[in-house]
Structure 1
Amino acid sequence: MTTSAAAPPAVRSPIPLRERRYDWFFILVFTMFIGSSFTGDIVNMVGHPDPNSNFFLARVVYHVYADGTDPLLIANPRFLQVGASVSALVFGTFYVLLVYAFIRGREWIRKPSFIYTGMVVQTTFIVVMVGFAGDARLFEAVCNTAYDYTFTNTPKALAYNLPYIIVPILLTARMWRPHPFTRLRPAQN
């Protein structure tokens, strides 16, 4: 009776970044998101956009984006401060991890990316809906204010906010496979 040797099991090997050319999109966008979290969101975490602030970034956010576009960001109600704090501290740190994981092809980022997508899409959706609804009765009751939060420059506001809905959804599509950064290769004897 003869026995044949079983084929060695296949092992997973990293796919080099040069072969994952679409991943450069995520690296670039998440690098920009790092800048947004650690600059713009810090402003609303510790204060609000203000042209007369002693805080340089508060003046920058006011002049570059908020003035003439987003009165909600200038008013900075408590729910927005909380959202900006999460974005600055949690998402900002996660963007650093995402960039690292995409560059190095680390698959441990896959499951946390699904959680991130749910969180950031929901948060951004709320901000965008407030920008469209303005001073709706719900916001008057919840925020105790009659201030009109409606976007004053909707195209600009959407240009700044929609990437935080679209890119996470694309990230989920990219991470959908169980092994987004590796492929099977036969084991060597």
Structure 2
Amino acid sequence: MNLPLRDRKIDVFFAVLFSAFTITSLISDLLPTVGVDFSQPSDNFFVNSNYWYAHDADQLFMHPPDWMRIVTGLSAFVYMPFYVVLVFALLSGKNWIQLPSVIYATMIVTLTGVVVFGVEFFGDPAMRTGNPAKFLAFNLPYVLVPLLLLIRMRAPKPFTRRF
């Protein structure tokens, strides 16, 4: 028998974070995937939000190579729908979300944690931000939260126990 949601406060915490990730996937990852230019300030809120982030923290994001557009495309078209399903499963205590959560966390750690962070810190110097602290402040939560979710989902029937 699963614990009621009021006894699984960590799941409420994850539901709030992944709801926010849904919005950020829609705003920030969809635009570079479909080729919207945000290399200059704009009157459009979404374009300007991406410009502000990319200008201050992530030059790679401002001028994404093809492989980066694939990474943002995964976020916009695969992770974003998963976030909606994940939030539902967390709030309703659906244990079937365990395996998809593990797959998702592994993909995030590999694509964001290894590839994107690797390029930022060890790749082409022209693509680095020059401000690793801002890059980490914006991007580290997108790797740490999935790792925490992976820890949360490690036990069989994760919603039957407190975390």
TM-score over 0.5 for the pair: yes
Deviation sequence 1:117-167 (CA, Å, 0-9, x none): 11111111211111112416xxxxxxxxxxx11122211111111112111
Residue 67 of structure 1 and its aligned partner are, at CA, apart by: 0.7
Equivalent position amino acid for 1:85 in 2: G
Partner of 1:161: 139
Partner of 1:77: 65
Partner of 1:127: 116
Range moving further from structure 2, 53-62 or 113-122: 53-62
Does 2:46 match 1:57?
yes
SS in 2 for 1:14: coil
Q: Distance in 2 between matches of 1:97 and 1:151?
A: 34
Question: Tell me, which stretches of 5 or more residues in structure 1 are unaligned?
Answer: 1-12, 137-147, 184-189
Judge conservation of contact 2:39–2:63 (CA < 8 Å) in 1. no
Q: Distance in 1 between matches of 2:121 and 2:108?
A: 18
Of residues 151, 160, 163, the one that matches 1:182 is 160
Question: How many positions carry a matched residue from both structures?
Answer: 159
Residue 52 of structure 1 and its aligned partner are, at CA, apart by: 4.9
Q: Distance in 1 between matches of 2:158 and 2:48?
A: 41
Q: Distance in 2 between matches of 1:111 and 1:90?
A: 15
Judge conservation of contact 1:133–1:149 (CA < 8 Å) in 2. no
Range moving further from structure 2, 48-57 or 15-24: 48-57
SS in 2 for 1:76: coil
Map residues 2-151 of structure 1 onto 2, 5 A cutoff. 13-47=1-35, 48-52=37-41, 56-63=45-52, 65-125=53-113, 126-135=115-124, 148-151=126-129
Deviation sequence 1:37-91 (CA, Å, 0-9, x none): 111001111124332557642222112x111321101111000000000000100
TM-score (norm 1): 0.78
SS in 2 for 1:129: helix
Q: Distance in 2 between matches of 1:92 and 1:155?
A: 26
Q: Distance in 2 between matches of 1:52 and 1:30?
A: 28
Across the aligned residues of Structure 1 and Structure 2, the Cα RMSD in angstroms comes to 1.7
Equivalent position amino acid for 1:60 in 2: S
Equivalent position amino acid for 2:131 in 1: N
TM-score (norm 2): 0.90
Judge conservation of contact 2:25–2:76 (CA < 8 Å) in 1. yes
List 4+ stretches of structure 1 deviating above 6 A.
none
